[in-house]
Structure 1
């Protein structure tokens, strides 16, 4: 494997240091950079961070051990990183209108674990979207801590519309009297009715936990309704549409702040990752700008355009469209299942996921538009993407030929322009 020296402009750059110290690992970084910049990134959970976020991730804050919270650390020398964490929390509170923000969670799953730890005890009953309908592993999978420690009851979606059946949610809540109700999904393309979930939770005396890992970036940009006024605890990630570093956060009211903080540290995590928290602060600052609001709305416009064009090409789009950054579709009318389709499209340089389809045995495709929108693509490019996808899946376009078209398209929209 040859090292791409031309990528390095300055010998004193951080990548230049890595190139001299460990060329084998440097080439792996270069290869991933080439992959990201020459293929279409349509995974709904991924995005390109800003250069400023990357700079914070590679900063000296990576060296600091900081167990505890600002002003109450278990290590010395935290006076500077305390400022960074306070800034991140303050920006998150202002951005989302929350009374309290914990920015230490290492991931979305860690945030959900902490939320459960703050509100529940092992064996408690929890109502959440079932995994076959788009629920996350932390919503009761038997392979996950959630399914092993708690008694999860899954609600579903209407077989005809694909929309959450709130009557079923209410019926299950009345019958099972859960300690908590979770609203959130990894593959539900419509806005959640947080007010309806709040009403059901209040009726049965349950906590409401919103797992907003996917829509939180749209919330920040005013392109999706906020769960903050309705949920007792909101769990989220800071990557995806939000364009921050890979990590999690928790938003809640002041009355649960201490319980949430204790659930994160010391109950579920140790030292905070201060470089990541600094990068979260950068992302929250960027998300508070008019430019980000315009971006968030364009993400949705692109997703709707992509859904419409895929439907026109013959794929069956779940719920008939999308309100968000993601959509799910069944490629069966084109003669392939989701798993086969993902492999064919990967060979063409189109990177996406397969997922469960509600009320179906076969798997479908899950696509997201956050990353391609970050690159500057719009509705016109979504038509071109849908045409490429359909051609490859029908077998009328050779994957190698489609790969060349993908290279041409991505060359027009580099993720990190010079």
Structure 2
């Protein structure tokens, strides 16, 4: 995907175009067509700061909207339960080959429908109901699949949560080791949805080996940075790596599982037939496109720009009196407490959304309320750089303190910025 830059971006009218066959959709189902056009314009007319979102390339979108969506393909290449799979077999083999080459893995399963599906498959392959698992607690940034009682993970397994240091907000590896020795888990999960620093995968591996546990890396957030060489890889240390194919990786919504050849059959059987049925072949083809894009020098440069932008944005927010968790970031994401500005996370999210800046709330370690979580992947895809990050930090504060006409002024500035850097 050609990343836009200030030199090539020009102010344009709101997006009103779509794929060539969109006119047919508009004629047949104008109600849904209006929803799609409205969402297209919303994405282009505001700043997308949700850490889990990005803009795919037109090539990825083309694969997603291809006739491969029509094909039923239960099973794996060369061993399908339906006929006529010769070409979709080729698409899946390409996706597997590109994923293993990109990440240096011995085996890849590209069929999981989501990151949660990938984690479910890892658990199904390695664990049995009732087994003990050590994972980051939800209050510290753990995912729903890391033991939430509302999720299958918390119902099927005995999760022991670990956290972060109360002073620094950094992972407490001494606590992880102590809990592992005390509870002797069958598996240890490293990974988070809101921890902005790189995990020490080698330290996790040493702890897992000491207690005889599997090490599962949930790398959904940093996987695109790993692909671009902007973050360390868990592949040399983890038994299984689970990830999404969207977020920084900039592919379609979906998941994947990477592992060594000795676990390949167990992982594959855990995906199909144990947890999923027919593969989504249009999505798998789109994953292959994204893996191909991520193997280029241009993507590596993009991944490093994502991190550089996040660091500048975090510094800018800190200068505007936001309390930045861990004091900064190593990745694409930032978590912050807006309390010093007199608002909580939910109020901040609402005011920022009204000004055209879309982000999430998140748990604050050892805090009473909720903070905000934001990322720079989508903005960087649009071609924004460090000057824009500094401006956005100032707009955050202006939006949180604005009232009446001032809110409209901030919204106009956000719209002007978004018009200079269109996603497509």
Q: Using structure 1 for the length normalisation, give the TM-score.
A: 0.97
Quote the residue 1:221 is aligned against: 228
Q: 1:125-152 deviations in whole A, cap 9, x for unaligned?
A: 0000000000000000000000000000
Could you tell me which residue of structure 2 aligns to residue 108 of structure 1? Answer: 115
CA distance in 1, matches of 2:245, 2:386: 26
Q: Distance in 2 between matches of 1:330 and 1:5?
A: 33
Q: For residue 395 of structure 1, report the CA deviation from its aligned partner.
A: 3.3
Number of the residue aligned with 2:314? 307
Q: What corresponds to 2:6 in structure 1? A: none
CA distance in 1, matches of 2:408, 2:98: 46
User: Unaligned regions of 5+ residues in structure 1, if any?
Assistant: none
Instruction: Find out whether 1:405 has 2:413 as its counterpart.
Output: yes
Cα distance in structure 1, aligned partners of 2:257 and 2:26 = 38
User: Per chain length, whose mean CA-contact separation is higher, i.e. which structure has more relative contact order (CA < 8 Å, sep 6+)?
Assistant: 2
- Deviation of residue 9 (structure 1)? 8.2
Task: Specify the alignment match of 1:179 in structure 2.
Answer: 186
The answer to whether the aligner puts 1:253 opposite 2:260 as a matched pair is yes
- State how far apart, in whole Å, the 2-side matches of 1:6 and 1:161 are: 44
1:56-75: CA deviations, max 9, x gaps?
A: 00001000000000000000
Q: Which residue, out of 70, 73, 76, partners 1:66?
A: 73
Helix, strand or coil: the match of 2:112? coil
Kept after mapping to 1: 8 A contact 2:15/2:40: no
Q: Is the 8 A contact 2:130 2:156 kept in 1?
A: yes
Q: Is the 8 A contact 2:14 2:41 kept in 1?
A: no
Aligned twin of 1:359: 366
**1:22 to partner: Cα distance:** 1.1
Alignment of 1:80 onto 2:74: no
Deviation at 1:5, TM superposition (A): 12
Taking the TM superposition and a 5 Å limit, the aligned residue runs for 1:367-406 are 367-395=374-402, 398-406=406-414
Candidates 351, 356, 360, aligned match of 1:344: 351
Root mean square deviation of aligned Cα? 1.3
1:283 matches 2:271: no
Q: For the residues of structure 1 that align with 2:15 and 2:179, how far apart are their CA atoms? A: 61
Seen in structure 2, the aligned counterparts of structure 1 residues 5 and 222 have a Cα distance that, compared at 3 Å, is: closer
Q: Report matched runs for 1:292-303 at 5 Å.
A: 292-303=299-310
* Counterpart in the other structure of 1:273: 280
User: How far did residue 14 of structure 1 move?
Assistant: 1.2
What is the number of residues matched between the two proteins? 411
Contact 2:121-2:267 within 8 A present in 1 as well: yes
Task: Report the TM-score, using the length of structure 2 for normalisation.
Answer: 0.95
Are the equivalent residues in 1 in contact too, given 2:336–2:371 (CA < 8 A)? yes
Q: What SS does the aligned partner of 1:7 have? A: coil
Contact 1:181 1:201 in 2 (8 A): yes
CA distance in 1, matches of 2:136, 2:14: 49
Among 255, 271, 292, the residue aligned to 1:264 = 271
4+ long deviations beyond 4 Å? none
Q: Deviations over 1:45-90 (max 9, x none)?
A: 0000000000000001000000000000000000000000000000
Report the Cα distance in structure 2 between the residues aligned to 1:309 and 1:371, rounded to whole angstroms: 18
Tell me, yes or no, if structure 1 residue 20 matches structure 2 residue 27. yes
Q: Distance in 2 between matches of 1:55 and 1:279?
A: 8
